[in-house]
Amino acid sequence: MLPRPARLLVVLVITLAIAGVAGCSKSGDSTSPPPVTGPTFSVSFPASGASQKITFTDIGTWTYHCIPHGTAMQGNVVVLALPAGTQPDSQVVQIQGGIGIGNYNPPTVTIHAGGYVRWVNVSGANIHTVTRP
């Protein structure tokens, strides 16, 4: 049998361990979804030649897709910090058609915070979107 101070120490350690487990929650038990970080957007292109411009201020990599085509048609915008003394920049992405599914060309663009991306529909179809939920 352990001396009394050692038994008290064991009881204290077990009590603290149980309290720690009781204070933890399992992943997925939350009743509200985690917050979405970064920009959210959804723009459509009603005709060939239509264009939409979005300015990005949040630094990060933002994946977007076409709602009708899902992940089969997706792209990325990489936004970097704006170096001191420089101006924000921009990129153009063409929404191209193809047999079945279109694509974004180029599929990934890099800009600096405060810059914008302009998507231009050159596919001839009016069903494409640029969406990040």
Q: How large is the average pLDDT for residues 69-81?
A: 95
Q: How large is the average pLDDT for residues 76-105?
A: 92
> Does residue 55 contact residue 89 with C-beta atoms inside 8 Å?
no
The answer to whether position 5 is within a domain reads no
Task: Give me the pLDDT at residue 13, please.
Answer: 45
Overall number of domains in the chain? 1
The answer to whether position 22 is within a domain reads no
Domain span holding position 108: 41-132
Q: How large is the average pLDDT for residues 55-77?
A: 95
Q: How large is the average pLDDT for residues 101-118?
A: 95
The answer to whether position 56 is within a domain reads yes
The answer to whether position 29 is within a domain reads no
> Does residue 94 contact residue 122 with C-beta atoms inside 8 Å?
yes
